[in-house]
Amino acid sequence: MKQTLYIFITLVSMLTIQAQEVRNDDLGDVSDEFQNTFFEALKQKGIENYDKAIDLLEKCNSQHPDNAAINFELGKNYFELDKFQLAEKTLQKANSLKPNNQWILETLYHLYRSQKNVPKVIETLKNLDEIHPKYATTLVKFYYKNQQHDEALVLLSKLDAKGTNRNREQLRHLIYLHGRKFTEQTKYIEQKTNNNTATEADFVKLIYAYSKLKNQQKSFNAAKLFSKMHPESDIPHLSLYKFHLTDNAIDKAVASMNAVLKSNSLNDADKSRVLNDFFNFTKKNLTYLPQLEKATELYPDVSVMSKMALLYATTNNKKATEYIASITKNNATSFNDLKLLGTVFLQENRIEDALKNSEKALSLFPAQPIFYLQQAKAQNRSNQAKNAIESLEFGLDYLIDNPKMEAAFYTEMAKGYEILKDKKNQAKYLQKAKKLSK
């Protein structure tokens, strides 16, 4: 009983909604029989009996072929049955009979959208936008999707004249980015800086836009203004550091780098990038090693500390040992860090550490041949030649189009056979390595 009552209430609600749409379209001066047939069609549509609804509507249509309401309802039923061509034909006829009707146009919009017919979606949304402003933002999105960036920006400016909002702001910058409209983007953000309304995100975009326009001076100026207007933010130092380094203002670069490394808001990737960048600078300018050492204390990045160990290996054994001790304690898990650690341990002949590192690396990256090679080198040095050869054979299965590494595999395999006093195989793999090295 309750279920029957629920179905009845639902059906009445659906018929009421449809009847309201029909009143908007106006059936005109028709007979009672015609009205009964028409409303029976609405009822059949309400219970999803679309074929029956179409039959009844076609009966109505034969009597009044130029009735907008009939064509509208026919279009909706054809749409429900995925008969898209018939749906479009009848909906377009309804639209021509009753132009600029919101309900007809909205149904056409959903029809074209379901077919991914973006040009017709845009055409329909433009008509809807003239009726009600709620469709404007959706129209902007489809302009963007159809790469009509100029049209999208014009409409956004029209909307923003009445007040901005966050979603439209994000959409605007997506259009600038994907439309490569960096000049327009800089003008827009510069206006906000002049009004003191530019956010941190605005400044980041402004710096990037000027860099894409290859205007490094304006990009630098934007970073300095960013720092001035948002002195509590660490973000501008990501750019200022690089600009100061380029200008050879090393003390300022180090100050910005330290601000980045001390930051609680910047992520590890940003810190690692800045520190690695300063390492590359210091490698060519060794007088700044003390500043780099202090920086690694602020942010003990495994990659940089491994490089520091290699850098000191030939000049300062004590320093190299200190860095090796630090990285041994560090729980490295990235491919690059583990690869670099393996190189350091092998170079410093820390065989036990090299074996542990390669075992860990292979558990994380079992298809990376470099770790099989590092493992084999450590195994050969610890008189485990059979294991070394086995590791190399496994690693060769993963090696693709890398003749240089393949030659290194064969050279190491020859060393394994030398330890086993197998001169035949030693000569065989040395010859293979020699061929690849030519």
User: What pLDDT, on a 0 to 100 scale, did the predictor assign at position 27?
Assistant: 61
Which pLDDT does position 309 carry in this prediction? Answer: 84
pLDDT of res. 30: 67
pLDDT of residue 23: 46
Taking the C-alpha atoms of residue 214 and residue 183, their distance in angstroms, rounded to an integer, is: 11
- Does position 232 have pLDDT exceeding 70, yes or no? yes
Residue 273, CA distances (Å) to 228, 260, 393 in order: 24, 10, 36
> Please, where are the H alpha helices in 247-334?
250-262, 268-284, 289-298, 302-312, 317-329
What does the alpha-carbon distance between residue 371 and residue 423 come to, in Å, rounded to a whole number? Answer: 26
The per-residue pLDDT for 323 is 84
In degrees and rounded to multiples of 5, residue 383 shows phi and psi of 60, 40
pLDDT, averaged across the chain: 89
Closest to 355 (Cα-Cα) out of 391, 329, 330: 391
Per-residue pLDDT reduced to its tens digit, 56-77: 999 998 988 899 999 999 999 9
Q: For 65, which DSSP code?
A: T
User: For 296-343, what is each residue's pLDDT tens digit?
Assistant: 989 988 888 888 888 887 788 788 878 877 877 767 788 888 898 899
Separation of alpha carbons 411 and 415, rounded Å: 6
Which of 43-52, 299-308, 408-417 shows the lowest mean pLDDT across its residues? Answer: 299-308
Confidence of residue 186 (pLDDT cuts 50, 70, 90): very high
Confidence of residue 3 (pLDDT cuts 50, 70, 90): very low
Annotated domain spans of the chain: 1-21+34-98, 378-438
pLDDT at 394 over 80: yes
3-class state of residue 401 by DSSP: coil
d(CA 258, CA 291): 10
Q: What is the pLDDT of residue 29?
A: 62
Q: What is the pLDDT of residue 164?
A: 85
Regarding predicted confidence, which is higher, 27 or 190? 190
Q: CA 331 to CA 176: how far, in whole Å?
A: 41
Question: Given pLDDT bands bounded at 50, 70 and 90, which one contains residue 207?
Answer: very high
User: Could you tell me which residues come within 8 angstroms of residue 151 by beta carbon, excluding any fewer than 6 positions away?
Assistant: 143
In this structure, the chain runs to a length of: 438
Report whether pLDDT(89) > 90: yes
Rounded Cα gap, residues 289 and 312, in angstroms: 10
Q: In sequence order, what DSSP letters do the residues of 150-215 get, joined into one string?
A: HHHHHHHHHHHTT---HHHHHHHHHHHHHTT-HHHHHHHHHHHHHTT---HHHHHHHHHHHHHTT-
Share of the chain above pLDDT 70, in %: 93
Q: How many whole angstroms from its chain centre is CA 268?
A: 19
| pLDDT score of 358 | 95
Question: Across the chain, which distance is largest between two alpha carbons, in Å?
Answer: 108
Q: 2 pLDDT band (50/70/90 cuts)? A: very low
Position 26 confidence tier, pLDDT thresholds 50, 70, 90: low
Contact 237, 204 (CB under 8 A): no
The answer to which of 33-37, 131-135, 246-250 has the lowest mean pLDDT is 33-37
Q: Please tell me the distance from the alpha carbon of residue 418 to that of residue 415, in angstroms, as a whole number.
A: 5
Tokens of 96: 């021509």
Query: According to CATH, what is the number of the domain 1-21+34-98?
Result: 1.25.40.10
pLDDT of residue 18 exceeding 70, the answer is: no
C-alpha span between 311 and 313 (Å, rounded): 6
Distance CA 69, CA 110 (A): 18
Assess contact for 225 and 203: CB atoms under 8 A: yes
Task: Indicate the pTM of the whole model.
Answer: 0.69
Rounded percentage of the chain residues whose pLDDT exceeds 90: 75
DSSP code of residue 234: S
Alpha carbons 298 and 292: distance in angstroms, whole number: 10
